[in-house]
Amino acid sequence: MPIIAPSFLSANFLNLQADCDMVNQSLADWFHLDVMDGRFVPNITFGPMIIEFIRKASTKVCDVHLMIEEPEKFAEQFKNAGADILTVHIEACTHLHRNIQQIKSLGMKAGVALNPHTPVTELSDIIQDIDLVCLMSVNPGFGGQKFIPQTLDRIKQLRRMTVEKGLNVHIEIDGGVTLDNAASIVAAGADVLVAGNTVFKSANPAETIRQLKLI
Ligand code: DX5
Ligand code: ZN
């Protein structure tokens, strides 16, 4: 069964407690929290302060997706806010190896995210050092976009790489995940499904999470 990570980008920020309670009580596994800086992506969301509040209301793994430049400047703040997994974008890191070592030395799991145009082969010399790859299946910046179909081939290619190297790395798919495409995403080799709109804009979010989990 896949790990389900509802993205709070689509949550109700006037009543985060209610959405945290819903996810805590659901079959979801992780809280996916999207940090945007208005530079790396054309949108601004929230930072460590909001994550610290969400962390206090959460009983699950806190999966923080940084869509920011110079993530090394903030890694410690996100650790202090309660991040369990910290994911940085390969396109935002000149010294990716150093960034990953920093995240791990702070006691977090390290993830690397790839934009839809970045070849998965760019990970071939670093994959053994990371815990998670976040493959963007939309261009990062906004919830509610349409899944880019080439992602399925990218998942297969990446899964082949981890199997060949004998590595246990999560493949997380982020963007446009729905009840209709989730099964094919998992069949291609992904094991973590991020879902924002599909969960939070549905009539019964906990039931939608259950359906994604049992896909
Ligand atoms: C997009 C974010 C996603 C977003 C996914 O830049 O990284 O996590 O919330 O939203 P949906 O599932 O609505 O495409
Ligand atoms: Zn995300």
Both tokens of 169, joined, read: 């790395």
Which residue has a Cα nearest atom 10 of ligand 1? 143
Superfamily of domain 3-213: Aldolase class I (3.20.20.70)
Q: How many angstroms separate the Cα of 156 from the Cα of each of 119, 121, 150?
A: 13, 12, 10
Which tens digit of pLDDT belongs to each residue from 13-65? 999 999 999 999 999 999 999 999 999 999 999 999 999 999 999 999 999 99
Residue type, 164: E
The domain locations on the chain are: 3-213
Neighbours of 20 (CB within 10 A): 21
Q: Please, which pLDDT band fits residue 166 given cuts at 50, 70 and 90?
A: very high
Both tokens of 191, joined, read: 């094991």
Which tens digit of pLDDT belongs to each residue from 169-202? 999 999 999 999 999 999 999 999 999 999 999 9
Closest ligand to C-alpha of residue 147 is 1
Write down the pTM of the prediction. Answer: 0.98
Q: Assess whether 63 carries a catalytic annotation.
A: no
Neighbours of 84 (CB within 10 A): 16
Which tens digit of pLDDT belongs to each residue from 70-110? 999 999 999 999 999 999 999 999 999 999 999 999 999 99
Neighbours of 185 (CB within 10 A): 25
Is the distance from CB of 30 to CB of 61 less than 8 angstroms? Answer: yes
Q: Assess whether 129 carries a catalytic annotation.
A: no
